Amino acid sequence: MKKRIGIVGAGTAGLHLGLFLRQHDVDVTVYTDRKPDEYSGLRLLNTVAHNAVTVQREVALDVNEWPSEEFGYFGHYYYVGGPQPMRFYGDLKAPSRAVDYRLYQPMLMRALEARGGKFCYDAVSAEDLEGLSEQYDLLVVCTGKYALGKVFEKQSENSPFEKPQRALCVGLFKGIKEAPIRAVTMSFSPGHGELIEIPTLSFNGMSTALVLENHIGSDLEVLAHTKYDDDPRAFLDLMLEKLGKHHPSVAERIDPAEFDLANSSLDILQGGVVPAFRDGHATLNNGKTIIGLGDIQATVDPVLGQGANMASYAAWILGEEILAHSVYDLRFSEHLERRRQDRVLCATRWTNFTLSALSALPPEFLAFLQILSQSREMADEFTDNFNYPERQWDRFSSPERIGQWCSQFAPTIAA
């Protein structure tokens, strides 16, 4: 008898899971509130880069529509501002790739439908879950960071923040020249904020995502509150001014005459993310265990670009565990967590740590940045470990570990 899995939410979590299960002939029904052809009319959803580990899964799922050799990027430029600015570069072992989710998600939805996934276009509420759970061997909830999260208990020991840690201003732009290597630029303006610049495929071809992570109360916060639509020219001028002052390694590549949103006034998104880590399962009143996946389990600030990558990873692991087991109860949830939790939890911890470290700049973190800026080998490792947040956390989880890591590369510099 075929297993029947219900999936609520058609984001990266739900769609990667659905595609995986259809490859193994599992019966899949996806509930989502948006049809594929609605996406092109939506406001920018996010600006997601998929790391090579995620692209590998896309290859395995046969949805690698935009190969990263052509559309992707190959490393990270770093810029650390201050009296003596630091500039350096780290390589990725295999390229990452960013595609506007308004293109990416409908592509996945169509692929899944073509492969026998069923779709029900309806918003699901917390009250609906019990009824839905009766219809499937397992119900998986992956409605993203806003909806239904409350069904899964928040783990306070892994949720250090109650409020957004950054005032975000995120947009897709044109008029920014590529750096010598097609790469992400991560620019840190001490005391004011971070900028992540990502080469991104969108409706009109390649564009540039700028993710401005502005410190609250800083000189940059105003960018999160100034509306493009009120006065586009004024907004763009403000951006040019602030970028020039705080993020010069990006500003120097901007052609002011060309600089504007890439497609339309929908290309901008402002606000903040409240990080949260929740139980990966919940027990409904009918006794059924349901599984939470993606942002439902772990919502992180976008500063390190981990959210969708860990959602895809967790979806794959969940798919394998669904195949391996046939009773989907608390014991099943233990099997699942034992495999997915380290990466998901470490991506969360590393992100939360980085938010705090970039605000407070403790001495061991400054020392780390110093040595990182001088050791190409260390910068390569740090950069490629964006694929493996649990390894990154092995480096960052205590001052002693940071120190040990740094001392490994300090001799190379002296020599």
The reply to whether 31 sits near ligand FAD by the rule CB under 6 A is yes
The reply to whether 308 sits near ligand FAD by the rule CB under 6 A is yes
Q: Which of 7, 53, 170, 262 binds ligand FAD (CB under 6 A)?
A: 170
Using the contact rule CB under 8 A, the part of the chain among 75-83, 97-105, 106-114, 390-398 near a copy of itself is 390-398
Q: Which of 245, 253, 325, 391 binds a copy of itself (CB under 8 A)?
A: 325
Alpha carbon of residue 253 to chain centroid: 25
Show the site string, 146-165: x = touches ligand FAD by CB under 6 A, - = not: -x------------------
Using the contact rule CB under 6 A, the part of the chain among 155-163, 238-246, 302-310, 379-387 near ligand FAD is 302-310
Task: Specify the DSSP class assigned to residue 38.
Answer: G
The reply to whether 331 sits near a copy of itself by the rule CB under 8 A is yes
Instruction: Report CA torsion sign: 37, 211, 58, 351.
Output: negative
Alpha-carbon gap, residue 401 to 260, rounded angstroms = 43
Q: Which of 305, 396, 402, 406 binds ligand FAD (CB under 6 A)?
A: 305
Using the contact rule CB under 6 A, the part of the chain among 229-237, 303-311, 350-358, 401-409 near ligand FAD is 303-311
Using the contact rule CB under 8 A, the part of the chain among 48-56, 201-209, 329-337, 376-384 near a copy of itself is 329-337
Contacted entry of ligand FAD, a copy of itself, none for residue 46, CB cut-off 5 to 8 Å set by kind: ligand FAD
Task: Specify the DSSP class assigned to residue 375.
Answer: -
Alpha-carbon gap, residue 63 to 65, rounded angstroms = 5
Q: Which of 40, 264, 404, 412 binds a copy of itself (CB under 8 A)?
A: 404
The reply to whether 11 sits near ligand FAD by the rule CB under 6 A is yes
The reply to whether 153 sits near a copy of itself by the rule CB under 8 A is no
The reply to whether 329 sits near a copy of itself by the rule CB under 8 A is yes
The reply to whether 275 sits near ligand FAD by the rule CB under 6 A is no
For residues 246 and 81, is the Cβ–Cβ distance under 8 A? Answer: yes
The reply to whether 211 sits near ligand FAD by the rule CB under 6 A is yes
Q: CA separation (Å) from 264 to 42, 171, 172? A: 11, 10, 9
Using the contact rule CB under 6 A, the part of the chain among 62-70, 239-247, 294-302, 379-387 near ligand FAD is 294-302
For residues 85 and 79, is the Cβ–Cβ distance under 8 A? Answer: yes
Q: Which of 5, 6, 7, 14 binds ligand FAD (CB under 6 A)?
A: 14
What crossing angle do the helices spanning 399-414 and 363-374 adopt, rounded to 10°?
30
Alpha-carbon gap, residue 359 to 365, rounded angstroms = 11
For residues 310 and 145, is the Cβ–Cβ distance under 8 A? Answer: no
Q: Which of 334, 362, 377, 412 binds a copy of itself (CB under 8 A)?
A: 334
Contacted entry of ligand FAD, a copy of itself, none for residue 4, CB cut-off 5 to 8 Å set by kind: none
C-alpha closest to that of 317 among 342, 340, 293: 340
The reply to whether 279 sits near a copy of itself by the rule CB under 8 A is no
Q: Which of 19, 99, 111, 124 binds ligand FAD (CB under 6 A)?
A: 124
The reply to whether 400 sits near a copy of itself by the rule CB under 8 A is yes
Show the site string, 65-104: x = touches ligand FAD by CB under 6 A, - = not: ----------------------------------------
Angle of CA points 169, 65, 260, to nearest 5°: 30
- What SS3 state is found at 183? coil
C-alpha closest to that of 220 among 161, 168, 162: 168
For residues 386 and 346, is the Cβ–Cβ distance under 8 A? Answer: no
DSSP string over 254-321? B-TTT-EESSSTTSEEEE----EEB-SEEE-TTS-EEEE-GGGTEE--GGG--HHHHHHHHHHHHHHH
- Nearer of residues 253 and 401 to a copy of itself, judged by Cβ: 401
Alpha-carbon gap, residue 355 to 369, rounded angstroms = 15
The reply to whether 364 sits near a copy of itself by the rule CB under 8 A is no
What crossing angle do the helices spanning 12-23 and 101-114 adopt, rounded to 10°?
30
Alpha-carbon gap, residue 44 to 100, rounded angstroms = 8
- What SS3 state is found at 50? strand
Residues near a copy of itself, by CB under 8 A: 325-327, 329-331, 334, 338, 341-342, 393-394, 397-398, 400-401, 404
Residues near ligand FAD, by CB under 6 A: 8-14, 31-34, 46-49, 123-124, 142-144, 147, 170, 211, 294-295, 302, 305-309, 311
